[in-house]
Structure 1
Amino acid sequence: MANAEPKILQNPPTKTHKFLLLLQIFLRASVMAASLASTSLIVTNKETTLVFGIPVQAKYSYSPSFKFLAIANAFAASFTLLSLVFTLIASRRGITPGNYFFFFLHDLAMMSLVLAGCAAATAVGYLGKNGDSHAGWLPICNYLDKFCKRMTTATVTSYLSLILLLSLTIISATRSREIQV
């Protein structure tokens, strides 16, 4: 009877480890997809319209904030692909708490980068939609509706990527707490 207890206790960590590994793979692939989708929406976003008879063109490259969001998402997608490859390689050898610490640092850095890009794009998007009466800036989204809607979609997709990166950061931080000093 005493031999039955250790076997029961050993199975849950194995199932938990496999579940967390599959969850990490799914989350990393989802971050990559969301970041790539956001980058592609931003980079291909442009619109030309007439405002008071004058042709006005809007491109993501005209705003440093939108360029930063595109670059942040491209970096996040690239480095998350790299971390996905490392996760798959490490899973064959067995992921140690030390490995999780490096994943934690990676996920935290990518989350911070995407958060900064989202914040910058949100601020500029708010000005584009509502303007600033104190500064004399008029809203432009009334004239560039397609551009604004597409940029909003890209920003929301970036926020999705941010939430997924936050989840990965929490998982990695929790698993890295098991480091023996």
Structure 2
Amino acid sequence: MADENGKQTEMESRPWHQTVTLLLVSLRLAALVATSTAAGLMAFNKETKTVTVAVVGTNPILQSFTAAFQQTPAFVYFVLANAIASLYNLLVMLLRPCLKNRGRQVLVHLLDMVVFALVVTGAAAAASMAELGKNGNKYARWNPICDRFEAFCIRGGVALVAAFIGAVLLLLMNALSVVGLTCKNVTSNNN
């Protein structure tokens, strides 16, 4: 309700602010869970297969092959990007009482955008390598590996889904943060 000058009262803007704050905290917590799940799944993603490469007489010659995230720079970047995003979101949640100042909230919003970009680029890099692992590249004569390392590819796919969910949550958090900062600015200018 507005007073005789058309200004909103403090009581009207308060519930909106509390709702936005609650949504931001919920989105940050969900993004923390998604990015930490993505980082953890990929960081512990390793599969070893032992195959017979030759038979000499009656003795098979065995060779072990291992697929691990450390063997691909895109997967290493993916793990680091999601781990940084998880740590950042955890720190912001823990330091939330210290971030009431408008200038600090703007800084957090800008850092949120950087973290969003980090997660999206990490997920995109990993997705391109996952596609190569699944389908290969017939022009470069690179064979797919997911037919041999199925568990590795499934865990990597789940990690990618978690990372993209985290990216969408971070994007929503950024959009809601802009709305919250804009509404604060409008209500403070009206008073």
Give TM-score scaled by structure 2 length: 0.82
Partner amino acid, structure 1, of 2:155: R
Once the two structures are TM-superposed, the CA of residue 135 in structure 1 deviates from its matched residue by 0.5
Q: Structure 1 residues 123, 3: CA separation in 2 closer, same or farther (over 3 Å shift)?
A: closer
| Aligned 1:40-51 pairs, distance under 5 A | 40-50=40-50
Unmatched 5+ stretches in structure 2 = 54-62
Give the AA of the match of 1:145: E
Q: Which amino acid aligns with 1:116?
A: T
Match of 2:87 in 1: 78
Q: Percent identity?
A: 29
1 or 2, which has the higher strand percentage?
2
SS in 2 for 1:173: helix
Is 1:113 the equivalent of 2:118?
yes
Say what the alpha-carbon RMSD is for the aligned residues: 2.6
- Count of matched residue pairs: 176
- Structure 2 equivalent of residue 32 of structure 1: 32
Compute the displacement of 1:134 (Å): 0.5
1:9 CA drift (Å)? 4.8
Deviation at 1:8, TM superposition (A): 8.2
1:102 deviates by 1.5
Find out whether 1:175 has 2:180 as its counterpart. yes
Partner of 1:87: 96
Confirm or deny: 8 A CA contact 2:47 2:66 kept in the other structure.
yes
1:140 Cα offset (Å): 0.5
Larger % of helix: which? Answer: 1
Q: SS of 2:82's equivalent?
A: helix
Query: What residue ranges of structure 1 are gaps of 5+ in the alignment?
Result: none
Separation (CA, whole Å) in 2 of partners of 1:167 and 1:98: 21
Contact 1:68 1:117 in 2 (8 A): yes
Q: Distance in 2 between matches of 1:88 and 1:51?
A: 57
Aligned partner of 1:78: which letter?
A: L
Q: Distance in 1 between matches of 2:151 and 2:105?
A: 42
Distance 1:52 1:126, change over 3 A: farther
Tell me the CA shift for residue 32 of structure 1. Answer: 1.2
Once the two structures are superposed, what CA deviation does each residue of 1:95-142 show, in whole Å capped at 9, x if it has no partner?
A: 454343212101101000001100100000000000000010011000
User: Does the CA-based 8 Å contact 2:39-2:83 persist in structure 1?
Assistant: yes
Distance 1:144 1:151 in 2: 11
Amino acid paired to 1:18:
Q
